[in-house]
Amino acid sequence: MYYSTKIPLNKLSSKVMVQNDIKTILRLRIKEVFDTCKSSTYPNFCRLIQTKEGYLKAETMIIDYVIKNTLPVSTAIAQLESELE
């Protein structure tokens, strides 16, 4: 009998759905932080998010950083802010 080493489509779809759910949750949390963005706290990010392109760039940077380092969004933003200086 032949056994496939491929991941079944339903399991692959579930993994992709979970990743998308996590990213959606992160995007909402990022939006909460940026909605109250204070230039005294996050001057580089506040300046960056003034345009749609800048907002998407900042959002992508933060999501990647959070996932890579398993940090809360607010911590990731603070650490990335210091790297942007």
Q: For the chain, what are the domain ranges? A: 20-84
pLDDT at 63: 95
Among the ranges given (4-13, 18-27, 49-58, 76-85), the one the predictor scored with the smallest mean pLDDT:
4-13
Look at residue 84 in the predicted model and tell me its pLDDT. Answer: 86
Mean pLDDT of 14-18: 60
For 24-74, the pLDDT digits (tens) are: 999 999 999 999 888 898 999 999 999 999 999 999 999 999 999 999 999
Q: Is the pLDDT of residue 3 over 50?
A: no
Give 23-63 as a DSSP string.
Answer: HHHHHHHHHHHHHT--TTT-HHHHHHTTSHHHHHHHHHHHH
The whole-angstrom separation of Cα 1 and Cα 21 is: 37
